[in-house]
Amino acid sequence: MFKPLASMLLQIVVVLLAAPLLSGIIKKMKAMIQHRKGAPILQLYFDLFKLFRKDVVISETASWIFTAAPYIYFVSVLGAIIFVPVIPQLFSYGFFGDAILVVYLLALSRFFLTLAALDTGSTFGGMGSSREMVISSLMEPSLIIVVFTLAASPRVQSTGFQAMYEGSAELGSGIISPVYLLLLAAVVIVLIAETARIPVDDPATHLELTMVHEAMILEYSGRYLALMEYGSALKQLLFISIIVNIFMPFGLGGGIIVTLLLYLLKICIVAVVVGLIEINTVKFRLFSVPNLAAMSLMLALLGFMSGFIFGR
């Protein structure tokens, strides 16, 4: 009874602490490469702390959805991340959640995010939600194909994350195979699109023509904004955790502390890679995003094919 509770608490504490740090690292790295000094790495913590204490301003036309959405968004993302432990040792919950549940918990959070953006009736909100829905519906097929490919591989045979982690860990250095490389490339594209990173959406802009995620949370202030920002940071950490644990299963054998430190190192590496991609690409036109989605879908599909029709 005690151990599942403790590991879940540890999981929640780790993700809540690590998520803003990850955003900070990406921002700092971008700034350093552009020869700027940049905000401190801990900036998002300060911002969140400040926002949680500030007053909330709500539009007169807003309904209850507007006030409920931040909580639903935050809680459903947090709920999703509980099923994706940061290290395999934390798999000892009394209950069982699989990858499909995680994907659709994220879909639930997105649904309320877009609904809340539509609620106040501002033009930017509507524009942002319609774009977000287009992008997410384009990215969902490739994510699902990746999940199914991982789940159906002979070592795993389950859609649960525990089996997937164990399957990857068993594979060891055999993870550097065409199948996993293709799936990794597909997941990285999904990560970029889902977490509103540069080729798809610019997290640092409020230019009305280009923003997607920012347009949706434009009306929020105070603690609601803090919850939205925190939720987005958590979502980013969730995708990076999946990448780190399934595609980089190295050195998972040690104790909890060592593995946790190694995990932090790995997510920092992924953050640096994401930052590098951001610096080296320009933001796509919205109508070019389907090209990226087609690429991701193709990579996932080829991974699936080379895993099952040929090879193995």
Residues that bind another protein (CB under 8 A): 176-178, 181-182, 185, 288, 290-291, 293-295, 298-299, 301-302, 305-306, 309-311
Nearest distance in Å: CB 310, another protein: 6
Nearest distance in Å: CB 199, another protein: 12
| Residue 63 vs 288, nearer CB to another protein | 288
Nearest distance in Å: CB 162, another protein: 28
Nearest distance in Å: CB 307, another protein: 12
Query: Within a 10 A sphere around the Cβ of 40, how many other Cβ atoms?
Result: 12
Nearest distance in Å: CB 290, another protein: 5
Q: Which two tokens stand for residue 296?
A: 């991701």
| Residue 127 vs 305, nearer CB to another protein | 305
| Residue 42 vs 294, nearer CB to another protein | 294
| Residue 103 vs 298, nearer CB to another protein | 298
| Residue 68 vs 155, nearer CB to another protein | 155
| Residue 71 vs 284, nearer CB to another protein | 284
Nearest distance in Å: CB 238, another protein: 26
| Residue 206 vs 285, nearer CB to another protein | 285
HEC per residue, the chain: CHHHHHHHHHHHHHHHHHHHHHHHHHHHHHHHHCCCCCCCCCHHHHHHHHHHHCCCCCCCCCCHHHHHHHHHHHHHHHHHHHCCCCCHHHCCCCCCCEHHHHHHHHHHHHHHHHHHHHHCCCHHHHHHHHHHHHHHHHHHHHHHHHHHHHHHCCCCCCCEHHHHHHHHHHHHHHHCCHHHHHHHHHHHHHHHHHCCCCCCCCCCCCCCCCCCHHHHCCCCCHHHHHHHHHHHHHHHHHHHHHHHHHHCCCCCCCCHHHHHHHHHHHHHHHHHHHHHHHHHCCCCCHHHHHHHHHHHHHHHHHHHHHHHCCCC
Q: Which two tokens stand for residue 286?
A: 């919205």
Query: Within a 10 A sphere around the Cβ of 279, how many other Cβ atoms?
Result: 12
Nearest distance in Å: CB 247, another protein: 14
| Residue 276 vs 305, nearer CB to another protein | 305
Identify the residue whose tokens are 């969902």: 140
Nearest distance in Å: CB 249, another protein: 17
